[in-house]
Structure 1
Amino acid sequence: MLDEADTIKEVNTKKLSAEQAIEWVKKVIIAENTYRNSEYQGDDLETALGPDQLLYITYLGSQGDVLATYRINALGQLQKKLSENDYRTISTKYLDTSEVKHFIDTYLGTLEVDTKKLNEEEILAWVKSMVEAEVAYRGIVLKNTDYKLFMEDNLVYVRAIEPRGGYSRTFRVNSFGKLELKRQDAFSIISEKYLDTSLISGYIMNHRKTKDIAPSNPSAATDWLIENKTIWLKGNFEIIDSFRTQNDYAPEKIDVNESYYDLQIKTNDVNSARGGLYNFKVYSSGRIDKELGDTGYYENIIFE
């Protein structure tokens, strides 16, 4: 029986089956993530024969979005796509990952990828990789996330939103080419190198709050929101009243694998989107989300 070393020598990489190509790419992806200290997101890989008669392998995220594209060139080498029509070799022998570290250091470092000059497709790929890493770390399941790209103050922003009013995050590439994530009114760096997700866990831990800060009791949650209104309420406005749908978590209300209840707080901010009314979701984990205006989309104000 051939061991892996024998397999590397014996396989003709110019004549691989789709299954063999997927196995090769899968092994390389795991090596990439290990080196970059990020999590392997699964094995949703698709193959297709390109117009150049080369075999292409697409790595898909949980939303069906493209995380990376690979191909086997005419020499039988496995290459990874860096940008449009730019493929670089990441492995020359079947199942061998010894070149992965060099590939990342050479092509994904800040000297080789100028993150100040990324196109829209590349920026979206960067943001999607961050979203995939964050939800994997939190154990959240997302479906049909929309990505809205826009310009503001000469910077590129991307908003990731679930249409059903769940996950919502705003990212931007700052003037130094670093990717930032918005929390409340401030942006913090979440990735310093293109497609690098190694800072995700540290970011989440640095912004983590305990359940006693965002309590699961409706009355206590209301008290907390009133006491800390400067976090979510802009301007010198007053609280008039508060409402909740019921006194405990509604079992029929499930969002991202958590039960939650609704809270409404009425203020004298009559010029706000809902005439002074603000909607919140309080989750069983202690997480609190606030509706963005009257859009039906919610943005996290307290991490669990």
Structure 2
Amino acid sequence: MNDFDYSKSTEIGQAVEELTTKNHAKAIGGGTNLLDLMKYRVENPHYLIDVNHLPYREIVRNASGGLRLGAMVTNADTAYHPLVEKNYPLLSKAILSGASAQLRNAATNGGNLMQRTRCYYFYDTATPCNKREPGSGCSAIGGFNRIHAILGTSEDCIATHPSDMCVALAALDAEIVVQGRDGERRIPILDFHRLPGDTPEKDNNLMSNEIITSINLPGNLFNKNYAYLKVRDRPSYAFALVSVAAALQLNGNNIASIKVALGGVAHKPWRLPYVEQKLIGREASKENFDSLAEELLTGAQGFGDNDFKMALAHKTIVRALNEAKKL
């Protein structure tokens, strides 16, 4: 780990100013991902700005009738919050399927949104990686790529986004609130993270001088028919090979609303609202769930070791929707 300077911020304006003016500065909350990256010398900030003391450590109702999740609230406190458990159990379940209890006690909501990929080659500084060194090449293409993406890939990167929380947020139409020098900005969750394209080093659309302050959850609830299904190599403390956040609103046995987001398959949580719209008014049946899965996975491509993910993703989508329907 390289030497770095450190400061604590208690006011958002101060934190934004330091993030703007300090050379190679990074904000740090729980540090469960950033500190690992620093130890591996993947990230080498010259200046760390501790944002844990900013006034964003509460979960409260927002103007839309939903919830505002403070960016500095820990993942554990979010998952076990009574209003989250009652109104957004899909989010609670997704958070509790990730990492370990110890990490969830430290990791913050803002940090979870900002965590970087767990690609083996990204962490191995002895190998080429376009995310780490743009233009150096992607070692995963043609390498060991069992955990890698099958959707939204490019010739420069096939890494996946590792978060469970973000998959649920994508299904719930969350909104990310950020603060920068130009004031507050709100970013729909589906626009927050990026596909790799030819700039895989950019994981999200946050500006370099912006800080996440909160996550807004809308008032439309999916707390009756939902499922978070995570397929992984071992029962705990493992990233998803494929995960599915599914939420339904039913009118009898017909679909009034449907949300399906995938994890472990792309550089960002994968959701296609226009595909979901085709099922509105149709029967909540395995045949229709199969049809949705097929469209969600249109264009999926394996790279050898991860070819199995295409069939696995299809089956996981259908199973998650069937589980959501039965609740």
Give the structure with the larger strand fraction: 1
**Higher relative contact order, chain-length normalized (CA < 8 Å, sep 6+):** 2
Task: Mark yes or no: TM-score above 0.5.
Answer: no
The TM-score with structure 1 as length reference comes to: 0.29
The TM-score with structure 2 as length reference comes to: 0.28
